[in-house]
Chains A and B, each alone.
Chain A
Amino acid sequence: MIEVKDLHVTFNPGTPLEKPALRGISVTIPEGQFVTVIGSNGAGKSTFLGALAGDVLADGGSIAIDGTNVTRWSTPRRAGLVARVFQDPLAGSCATLTIEENMALAAARGRRRGLAPALSHDRRHLFRDRIAALGLGLENRLGDRMGLLSGGQRQAVSLVMAALSGSKILLLDEHTAALDPGTAEFVLHLTRRVVDDNGLTALMVTHSMRQALDYGHRTLMLHEGRIALDVAGEERAGLDVPHLLALFARQRGGEDITDDALLIG
C-alpha cells in the first residue's frame, strides 16, 4: 500500500529557476491496485514517480509504503520495496553486462550484497525459466550483452527483472513510449501479466489516454502538480477517450485541449 500525503516538490528552490513540480498530492493506493497516470507535459507525472522511487526528495508532505514512512529514504534504500522500469530502454539495464548479470543485479535488490558468486547454478536455472516464459527465445542468449538486444527485448527483460526480488510495488515511467506500436502492445500485455501474476501494486505513467483506460483499475490525471481527476470502478468503466478529454477540459477550467496531440494519441 502507498500513502501519499500533501506531497510537494520544488525544483531549484530559492533561485530564479524555481519551479514547483508537485503542489500537494494526496492519494492512497491499496495493495494490488494497478493505477494509470496521465497528464500533459510538465504536469508532474515523472516527478511523482521519481518522488515515490526516491530520485526526487519531497520538500513537503510524506510518503509511506506498507505503513513505513520512507519520505527521507534514498533511492537505494527504497529499492527493496520499489521496482522500476524506465522510459529509455537503455536506462534500466547495464548495456555492457550480460543478460544474466543484469538479472543477478535485480535478484539481489533490497538485500545485502556479499561475496557469494553473483551467478550460481540455481540462479542461472531460475533466470532461464523466467526468460523462457517471455517466448522471445532469449533463454539461449543469457550470456549475451544486454546492449545487443532491441529496445522491446530490453524492456521485456526489465519487467522480468522487476519481478525477481519480491518487491511489492512497480513503477512504470512511460516504459513503452520509445517502442514501435506492435512491440509496445507486447510489452503492455507482458506488464499486465507480470502485475497480475505477482499481485503487484503498480503505477504506470502513459501519454496515451487509450492505454490509461484499457489497463489497470484506476486512472489519475495530473495537472500542474495536482491530481485533477481520480476515477476507478464503474465510473471509469463507462469512460472513453472523448469523455476523458471533456472531463479533463472541465478540470482545467474549460480551456480547450484538443490541440494537445500528446494527450489524445
Chain B
Amino acid sequence: MSEIAFFGAVEIGLVYALVALGVFLSFRVLDFPDLTVDGSFPLGAAVAATLIVAGANPWLATLAAVLAGAGAGLVTAVLNLRFHILHLLASILTMIALFSINLRIMGRPNVAIIMQDTVLTPFAGLGLPDHLLRPLLVLVFVVVTVLLLAWFLSTESGLAMRATGVNPRMARAQGIDTGRQVGLGIALSNGLVGLAGALFAQTNGFADVTTGMGTIVVGLAAVIVGETVLPLKGMVWALTACVAGSILYRLAVQFALSADAIGLQASDLNLVTAVLVAVALILPRLKARRKARRAAA
C-alpha cells in the first residue's frame, strides 16, 4: 500500500468515523435501529455542495448540512413516535424519500465542487501536502465531536438519553419523556451523519446521489470493529473505539483491495463489508455457545 493510499484510507475512515458516532448514538445508546443515515449522508453532501456552488460560505454550508441531517432524523423519529410506524420501517421510508429530495436539491445526480472554496481552502497554504492536510483537518472535526459528545452524554440530559435506551419504563418512572429523548437522539445522530456527508463532499470535491448506499453498514461495521478492538469501559473510550474502528475498517478494506493476490476489485467493496459485519456479529455468539457447551460438559 502506497503512502497516498494509506492516508487516503485514514481520511475516508475519519469522515466515516462521524457516521460511526451517529450510528453509535442510535443503535447503541438509544437501541433504535435507524437506517435514515443512508439518506442523510448524501443529503449532507448535497446541501453543502449545492450551497457552496451557489457561493455560500463553506462553514455556513456545512452547518446547513448538519441541520438538514438532523431534520431528516426528526422525520424518522416522528413517524415512529407519533404514528407508531416500526422504527426500522420508518427510517427506510425517510431514506428512500431522501433519494428523491437529494436529486431535487442538486438538480442533477452529481455536483462537482473541486474548483470551489471549501472549509479546507484556508489551510491549503500551510505547506502540508494535500494527502496529509485533508485527514488532519477531518481529524480536528472528529476530535471536537468526540469531546462534545462525551461531555453531553455525561450531563443530566445525556444520562436521560442513555437511560431511555437501556430501560424506557424506568426512565419514564424517573420523569424522563422518552419520546423526546428518542427524537433528540435520532436528530443528533443524523446531524453528525449530515456533517460527515458535507465533509465527504468537500474532501472529495463532489456530491453524488448514490454515495449513501450502504452507509449504515459501514457505520455499523466501524462500531463493531471498534468494540472488538477496544472493549473498554467509559463513554470517551466507547466513542474513541468508534473512531478507531472506522479507520481500521477502511485500512482493512484498502489492504484487501490493493493485495493483488486476493483478486478483489473495488466493486467487491459492498460484499466484503457485508461479510465482515456478518462475521463480526456471528463470532461473539459462536464463542458464547462454545463457552456454554464447555461449561455444561
Residue on B nearest A171 in the bound complex, by CB: B173
Are B170 and A76 closer than 8 Å at their CB atoms? no
- Report the minimal beta-carbon distance from B227 to chain A, rounded to whole angstroms: 13
Q: Does A41 sit within 8 A of B, measured CB to CB? A: no
Are B176 and A117 closer than 8 Å at their CB atoms? no
Cβ-defined partner of A108 (8 Å) among B156, B167, B169, B173: B156
Q: How far is the CA of A109 from the CA of B177 in the complex (A)?
A: 11
Residue on A nearest B181 in the bound complex, by CB: A113
Are B169 and A105 closer than 8 Å at their CB atoms? no
Are A95 and B175 closer than 8 Å at their CB atoms? no
Cβ-defined partner of A101 (8 Å) among B159, B171, B172, B178: B159
Q: A77-96 vs B: 1/0 string, CB under 8 Å?
A: 10110001010000111111
B-chain residues with CB within 8 Å of residue A92 when the two chains form the complex: 170, 173
Q: Does B166 sit within 8 A of A, measured CB to CB? A: yes
Q: How far is the CA of A257 from the CA of B150 in the complex (A)?
A: 58
Residue on A nearest B173 in the bound complex, by CB: A84
Q: Does B270 sit within 8 A of A, measured CB to CB? A: no
Q: How far is the CA of A109 from the CA of B171 in the complex (A)?
A: 10
Are B173 and A53 closer than 8 Å at their CB atoms? yes
Are B174 and A105 closer than 8 Å at their CB atoms? yes
Are A115 and B173 closer than 8 Å at their CB atoms? no
Q: How far is the CA of A53 from the CA of B158 in the complex (A)?
A: 25
- Report the minimal beta-carbon distance from B167 to chain A, rounded to whole angstroms: 5
Q: Does B155 sit within 8 A of A, measured CB to CB? A: yes
Cβ-defined partner of A113 (8 Å) among B166, B170, B176: B176
Cβ-defined partner of B173 (8 Å) among A79, A114, A117, A118: A79
Q: How far is the CA of A79 from the CA of B173 in the complex (A)?
A: 6
Are B176 and A95 closer than 8 Å at their CB atoms? no
Are A104 and B172 closer than 8 Å at their CB atoms? no
Knowing A97-B163, A101-B159, A113-B156, say if A91 contacts B176 (CB, 8 Å). Answer: no
- Report the minimal beta-carbon distance from A236 to chain B, rounded to whole angstroms: 30
Q: How far is the CA of A79 from the CA of B156 in the complex (A)?
A: 16
Q: Does A110 sit within 8 A of B, measured CB to CB? A: yes
B-chain residues with CB within 8 Å of residue A113 when the two chains form the complex: 156-157, 159-160, 176
Cβ-defined partner of A97 (8 Å) among B152, B166, B172, B178: B166
Q: How far is the CA of A115 from the CA of B151 in the complex (A)?
A: 9
Are B167 and A91 closer than 8 Å at their CB atoms? yes
Q: Does A247 sit within 8 A of B, measured CB to CB? A: no
Q: A96-133 vs B: 1/0 string, CB under 8 Å?
A: 11000100111011110111111100000000000000
Are A118 and B167 closer than 8 Å at their CB atoms? no
Residue on B nearest A145 in the bound complex, by CB: B233
- Report the minimal beta-carbon distance from A174 to chain B, rounded to whole angstroms: 16
B-chain residues with CB within 8 Å of residue A80 when the two chains form the complex: 175
Are B163 and A108 closer than 8 Å at their CB atoms? no
Are A109 and B175 closer than 8 Å at their CB atoms? yes
Q: A47-85 vs B: 1/0 string, CB under 8 Å?
A: 000000100000000000000000000111101100010
Are B170 and A93 closer than 8 Å at their CB atoms? yes
Are B171 and A105 closer than 8 Å at their CB atoms? yes
Contact size class for A?
Answer: 20 to 34
Are B170 and A94 closer than 8 Å at their CB atoms? yes
Are A115 and B169 closer than 8 Å at their CB atoms? no
Q: How far is the CA of A118 from the CA of B244 in the complex (A)?
A: 27
Are A118 and B158 closer than 8 Å at their CB atoms? yes
Q: How far is the CA of A111 from the CA of B177 in the complex (A)?
A: 12
Are B155 and A116 closer than 8 Å at their CB atoms? yes
Q: How far is the CA of A40 from the CA of B119 in the complex (A)?
A: 69
Q: How far is the CA of A101 from the CA of B162 in the complex (A)?
A: 10
A-chain residues with CB within 8 Å of residue B154 when the two chains form the complex: 117-119
B-chain residues with CB within 8 Å of residue A97 when the two chains form the complex: 159, 162-163, 166
A-chain residues with CB within 8 Å of residue B172 when the two chains form the complex: 74-76, 79
Are A116 and B156 closer than 8 Å at their CB atoms? yes
Cβ-defined partner of A114 (8 Å) among B157, B162, B167, B171: B157
Q: How far is the CA of A23 from the CA of B170 in the complex (A)?
A: 28
Residue on B nearest A96 in the bound complex, by CB: B166
A-chain residues with CB within 8 Å of residue B177 when the two chains form the complex: 74, 76
Knowing A95-B167, A97-B166, say if A118 contacts B175 (CB, 8 Å). Answer: no
Are B166 and A95 closer than 8 Å at their CB atoms? yes
Q: How far is the CA of A113 from the CA of B162 in the complex (A)?
A: 13
Are A104 and B173 closer than 8 Å at their CB atoms? no
Are B166 and A118 closer than 8 Å at their CB atoms? no
Instruction: Give chain A interface residues in 160-214, CB to chain B under 8 Å.
Output: none
Residue on A nearest B164 in the bound complex, by CB: A94
Selected A-B contacts with CB under 8 Å, 16 pairs: A76-B177, A92-B170, A93-B167, A94-B167, A94-B170, A95-B167, A97-B159, A97-B166, A105-B163, A105-B174, A113-B160, A113-B176, A115-B156, A116-B155, A117-B154, A118-B154
